[in-house]
Structures are given as structure tokens and as C-alpha cells.
Amino acid sequence: MELKWKGDCSPHMQIKTNHGVPCLTYPAFEQLGGFYHGFSTRLGGVSKGIYESMNLSFTRGDNREAVLENYRRMAEAIGFSLEGIVCAEQTHTTNIRLVTEKDRGKGVLKEKDYRDIDGLITNTPGLTLTTFYADCVPLYFIDVKHKAIGLAHSGWRGTVEKMGAHMVKGMEEAFGSRAEELYAAIGPSICQDCYEVSQDVAEQFWKAFPEHREEKRLLYEKGHGKYQLNLWYANELVLTQAGILREHLSFPGICTCCNPEFLFSHRASHGKRGNLCAFLGINVT
């Protein structure tokens, strides 16, 4: 399968296959030590039809046992315990949950007792933070000094509300993290060439980033009230304005919509699809 990599951001993610399951990872994160992470593709699972094959959503109509088997395969491929997964309950908010041992298994093996949570943070080893995607932006955060992590879902609503900055503040308050010491990454999501938005959305981004209003790298007009929005760049602005160093920030280099055979995309499939997941955890020593 020939993939379309986008932009000039470096380093791009890399594809690793373990136990027959491909997974996207960041070379910069792998060099840190003490943490594990990954981003699923739509390959290597057992789901059928529009969910083929590594669907990780229980809520889109797929067979529950197939989804559970897909989680088992992802856990084996990345190297974490299925029992340690903790899932978000995403509704395009900037709400963040501090995940503790009592949350172990919620979202896969146990019911969640929370909702409206788009960001997860923890310093508990062995808990695997898990968030869901099919074009929206994953945001990863690692604090090596304090052994703490964060994972967030940031669609256009989360991005314009600066979810990345909320995550930095949340980790500062919970763990004593310092923005300039955090390592962060923007995950696979829809690229600017594929992401058309209406003028009302464009206006919200101009308001959120007034100093970049004329910058086509953020938004450019197609005509008839339509614009192309760059969520990767918008999130780069959010994160660097929040104090994260540019040299500590990794980029995806791969668009979900440009690669519909490899990654689930809501736009490319017109909503007929499964879900991808981002995973992040602290190794148990």
C-alpha cells in the first residue's frame, strides 16, 4: 500500500508492525524511555464491512466481540495490558480527567462513569490513556521529569478553544509539569488540503488567532464562503504559545483523509467507518 505523506514536518511518524498489527509511532518519543505509545491504523484487526478491520469503537454498530479482539491485538502489538486501558468520553469539550487506579479498564472492560471528557492525564504507571479519531487531531504529552502523561482529542472546536493549552495547564497543576520540559506530538488527522470549512468556522479561528488572520498556512479562501483550515498548524500555534518548545514537538506527516485504505476518515467515508485510537502509557518498572 502506497501512503501519501504530507508536509515538510520532521520527524514524521513511522510504521511499525508487531504480531501482524501495524502501528504508527514517533521516533522522538521512543528515545525518551519509560513510556509506550502508538496510533492504530485500520489494518490488522478482525472487523468486517465498513469497519474493516481494526475498528476500536463499540458505539458505531460493529460486533462487540470483534472490537474486543481488536483491542487485544493492539495491546499485544504495543505492549500494554488490556485491563489497564482508560478511555475518553469525547464530546468536543476541553474537559480533562485526572486518571487514577480506580479508572482502570473503563471504556473497554468496564463502563465509564463519566462523560464530556476529551482529555486524560495521569502519573500512574500501567494505565493506558486511550482516545478516538477519524479525522480530528490527537495531542500527546509526556513529562519525563515527573513521569506523567496526557492525551487529548482536539477537533476544530477543541482546537479553537485551545485544548492543547488546557492540557499543559492541567499537567502543570496536577504534576508540577513545566511547559518547556514537556514533549508533545500532533497525531494523524485531516490535512489542510482535505479540510474544507464554512465561513462561520473560519471566523472563529480568526478570532482565536488574530495575529495569523492573513496567513494562508492557517486558512485560505476557496470562494463561495468556503475555506481550507490547517488544524496541524493551528495546534502547533496553540502548543507553542502555551510554552512547549518547537524542538520538543513532533508532527504526523500523514492525513487520515488522504489515506482512507490505511486510516479511518469520517470525510472520506461519508461517515461509514470505524474508529482509530491513540494510546499512551507509562511503563511499569
Task: Summarize pLDDT for 192-224 with one digit per residue, the tens.
Answer: 999 999 999 999 999 999 999 999 999 999 999
pTM of the full structure = 0.98
Nearest alpha carbon to residue 148 among 280, 13, 285: 280
Indicate where the chain has its CATH 3.60.140.10 domain(s).
14-190+232-282
pLDDT at 8 over 80: no
Cell matching residue 139: 495531542
Confidence of residue 10 (pLDDT cuts 50, 70, 90): low
Q: How far is CA 76 from the centre of its chain?
A: 20
pLDDT at 1: 83
pLDDT at 2 over 80: yes
Task: Summarize pLDDT for 217-261 with one digit per residue, the tens.
Answer: 999 999 999 999 999 999 999 999 999 999 999 999 999 999 999
Confidence of residue 7 (pLDDT cuts 50, 70, 90): confident
**Contact residues for 170 (Cβ-Cβ < 8 A; gap 6+):** 96, 98, 119, 121, 150
d(CA 228, CA 73): 36
pLDDT at 274: 98
Task: Summarize pLDDT for 86-137 with one digit per residue, the tens.
Answer: 999 999 999 999 999 999 999 999 999 999 999 999 999 999 999 999 999 9
**What is 14-190+232-282's CATH number?**
3.60.140.10
- Strand (E) or helix (H) holding 269: helix 266-269
Please provide the average confidence, as pLDDT, over all residues in the chain: 97
d(CA 240, CA 235): 8
The answer to whether the CB of 269 falls within 8 A of the CB of 50 is yes
Nearest alpha carbon to residue 240 among 228, 230, 250: 250
The answer to whether the CB of 138 falls within 8 A of the CB of 39 is yes
pLDDT at 178: 98
Confidence of residue 5 (pLDDT cuts 50, 70, 90): very high
Mean pLDDT of 150-176: 98
d(CA 160, CA 165): 11
87, β-bridge pairs: 130
pLDDT at 185: 98
Nearest alpha carbon to residue 29 among 233, 211, 248: 248
CA dihedral 133, 112, 98, 131 (to 10 degrees): -10
d(CA 222, CA 193): 11
C-alpha atoms less than 13 angstroms from C-alpha of 122 in its C-beta half-sphere: 26
3-state secondary structure 156-210: HHHHHCCHHHHHHHHHHHHHCCCHHHCEEEECCECCCCCCEEEHHHHHHHHHHCH
Q: Is 130 exposed, middle or buried (0-12, 13-18, 19+ CB in 10 A)?
A: buried
What type of residue sits at position 183? Answer: Y
9, β-bridge pairs: none
pLDDT at 9 over 70: no
d(CA 44, CA 69): 11
Q: Is 126 exposed, middle or buried (0-12, 13-18, 19+ CB in 10 A)?
A: middle
